Structure 1
Amino acid sequence: TVDNCPLNCLYSGCICLSMEATHTLTVCFTGLLGEENWPEFVGVALVDGFEVVYCDSNTMTAESRQDWMKKHDPAYLNWFTNQCRETQRFFSLIIEQLMQNFNPTKGVHTFQRMLGCEFDDVTDEINGINQFGYDGEDFITFDLKTHTRIPAMQQAVIFKQRWDNDKAASAVIKNYLTQVCPEMLKMFVNYGRSFMLRTALLSVSLLQKSPSSPVTCHATGFSTNRVSMVWRKDGVELHEGVGKGDILPNDDGTFQMSVDLQVSSVRPEDWEGYDCVFQLSDVYKAIVTKLDKAVIRVNKGEIKIISHQQRFIFMLVSFMFAAITACSHNVSDNNPRSPRWGWSLLKNIYCAQK
């Protein structure tokens, strides 16, 4: 589940809304125990996998990450503020009980909830999920068809019995997943669509530090995560000798990405057969840049590219501080269209640094 988790723009205030038929609205809550340097509770709302609203235990007030959110729907900020406060109180009680049931060792422990929906605006199909996780593992999941909980571990059975007996709460969850959430999602996608379509800042360049260095195809200024960038030889995509980077945020709310090509073994007469192809969503014509020494720019720092070290630090800080807001859209055994997330990502990154 970890490999497909997209990187979120936690500090740059960016959003990417897909032009495809399927959209998701996900609310992620995380309680963090045993780490004094981070908020003990964090809540994030994401549209199509990117952050729109944030709250934490330091302020317990929802903060909009998007200007259009403030303009179009301030009521959602009030709703999210109430959800954060109620969920933090709920988490405090649950975590106390979990500590007794698991008898955990000292260190960092997490309890998380993902609540959200997926809507297909072509078929009108709606899927919802209400799932809890503990320490990077599935804990218990709400079955939307039966209105019952499915425990993923023995310690969750007692919670299943207790929560299943609360029929009123189950009805509220069902109404949110099938009615409230899809309507909110449609509204948010409509509000943010114009942001995604902007391309005025888009540029693609070829960069190289020295004649022996890889040639970097660098795209920046795009506002959607529905992009692809590849190196080709004679029209065929290359995999060997190619280093593909992540999609990362710029300071202005747009994105950048880079793909390196090792050219040390490429003969000069063969250069003309190579090109870099950048495709923005499915509605724009691909930008094709030929491998040509005449257009390669020597990058002496004028162009800001996030280094591998900076990329790692960004990922570490982002996932720790936002407490696994990276929600993925992976395949579930029971529901092939069910949105899921990688519970273990925060735990794995944190433990790797201990």
Structure 2
Amino acid sequence: MTTYTKINGQMTARIPEISSVTTLDEQQIDYYDSDTGTPIPRQDWIKKFGDRFKKYIEIRERVQQINKIDIAVLMQQFNQSHGVHTYQRMYGCDWDDDTGGSHVFDEHGYDGEDFISLDVKELTYTAHVPQAKPTVLKWNNDRKQLDFLKNYDPECIYWLRVFLDFSKTAFNKTEPPMVSLLKKNQDYYVLCHVTGFHFRETNILWRTNGLKNFSKLVEYREMLPNGDGTFQRTVALKFLPDDWKTNQYACVVEHESLTEPIQKNLTVDDIKSNGKVKPA
């Protein structure tokens, strides 16, 4: 997905007038703004993509030039004479590996609210507010631009699958994540901290006596980026005093890229030492 943002008006902080960010499975893969004037790769694997990355950027910029909105025109349509205003466009596609289904989208927003969206299959724009109707009427009558967008569906899916294949190949060559079992102070929480994994859909869970623990005793904390394209997350388990002496607990990390799940059993030594446990 690419998010294109344009800001109009005086800002107290220095923010580029135009910026765009492209993400793959919620990870930023490139960045551009009007100050730098050059797309910047954000992942090591895409830096090795070479000339194909340049070709992708050219196609993306060509799509971005279609139906760009002038904020000054929008201000007139909304009867606004001053202030800071933002136009944002999000376009891209989703691919389902299981079903082979795809979905392409192109959505425009103004000041954080839905403005116009495109039905890519029907090649028809829809106005989400009355002020968007004149623009939608103009765009729906521009057959040349609509015909150009016919190719956007297959092109977007093509590049999405290329990036997915290339990124997963790069990720599969990396080391498995690090798993740590931690206990702080005298509370009854044990933390399973996992870091260094590449996929946000990685499952981290606690098992009690071999069964997944669905109870309220498990607390999933926020997933955080590490800055190198990997993520970290902590899943806390709360137990009653001495409960760990009669029950077996294990932190399990699952993902399709792993040949088998990483499982770390919680022992008395782990609790007492507060030590880190590395994958086998």
CA distance in 2 between counterparts of 1:106 and 1:287 reads 57
CA distance in 1 between counterparts of 2:189 and 2:225 reads 23
Of 15, 20, 40 in structure 2, the residue corresponding to residue 38 of structure 1 is 15
CA contact (8 A) 1:119 1:126 kept: yes
Structure 2 equivalent of residue 135 of structure 1: 111
CA distance in 2 between counterparts of 1:147 and 1:251 reads 39
Question: Which range moves more in the overlay, 26-35 or 201-210?
Answer: 26-35
1:105-144 matched pairs, under 5 angstroms: 109-120=85-96, 124-144=100-120
Q: Would you say 1:152 and 2:128 are equivalent positions? A: yes
How many Å apart are 1:82 and its aligned residue?
Answer: 8.0
How many Å apart are 1:245 and its aligned residue?
Answer: 1.6
Q: Would you say 1:71 and 2:25 are equivalent positions? A: no
Structure 2 equivalent of residue 60 of structure 1: 37
CA distance in 2 between counterparts of 1:253 and 1:40 reads 27
SS at match of 2:247: helix
How many Å apart are 1:157 and its aligned residue?
Answer: 0.6
Q: 1:28 to 1:295 in 2, by over 3 A?
A: same
CA contact (8 A) 1:271 1:292 kept: no
1:94-109 matched pairs, under 5 angstroms: 94-103=70-79, 109=85
* Structure with greater Cα Rg: 2
CA contact (8 A) 1:140 1:156 kept: yes
Q: 1:126 to 1:236 in 2, by over 3 A?
A: closer
CA contact (8 A) 1:195 1:223 kept: no
Structure 2 equivalent of residue 277 of structure 1: 252
Q: 1:252 to 1:103 in 2, by over 3 A?
A: same
CA contact (8 A) 1:201 1:220 kept: no
Of 198, 210, 216 in structure 2, the residue corresponding to residue 240 of structure 1 is 216
How many Å apart are 1:160 and its aligned residue?
Answer: 0.3
Q: Would you say 1:186 and 2:161 are equivalent positions? A: yes
1:139-218 matched pairs, under 5 angstroms: 139-176=115-152, 178-212=153-187, 214-218=189-193
Of 231, 256, 262 in structure 1, the residue corresponding to residue 232 of structure 2 is 256
How many Å apart are 1:112 and its aligned residue?
Answer: 1.3
Question: Percent identity among equivalent residues?
Answer: 33
SS at match of 2:21: strand
User: Structure 2: which amino acid aligns with 1:197?
Assistant: N
Question: Which range moves more in the overlay, 228-237 or 200-209?
Answer: 228-237
Q: 1:112 to 1:239 in 2, by over 3 A?
A: farther
SS at match of 2:151: helix
Of 261, 267, 271 in structure 2, the residue corresponding to residue 292 of structure 1 is 267
Query: What runs of 5+ residues in structure 1 fail to find an aligned partner?
Result: 1-25, 304-354
CA contact (8 A) 1:43 1:84 kept: no
CA distance in 1 between counterparts of 2:33 and 2:199 reads 26
Structure 2 equivalent of residue 336 of structure 1: none
How many Å apart are 1:248 and its aligned residue?
Answer: 1.7
CA distance in 2 between counterparts of 1:119 and 1:229 reads 24
User: Structure 1: which amino acid aligns with 2:105?
Assistant: I
Q: How many residues align?
A: 273
User: Structure 2: which amino acid aligns with 1:173?
Assistant: L
Q: 1:85 to 1:168 in 2, by over 3 A?
A: closer
- By relative contact order (CA 8 Å, sep 6+), the higher-ranking structure is 1
Q: Deviations over 1:74-113 (max 9, x none)?
A: 343365368559958975x521111122245976543211
TM-score scaled to structure 2, two decimals? 0.83
SS at match of 2:155: helix
Q: 1:224 to 1:269 in 2, by over 3 A?
A: closer
TM-score scaled to structure 1, two decimals? 0.67
1:312-331 matched pairs, under 5 angstroms: none
Identify the structure with the greater strand proportion: 2
Q: Deviations over 1:165-193 (max 9, x none)?
A: 211111112212x2222222222222212
Q: 1:242 to 1:78 in 2, by over 3 A?
A: same
SS at match of 1:256: strand
Q: Deviations over 1:142-162 (max 9, x none)?
A: 112321101111111111011
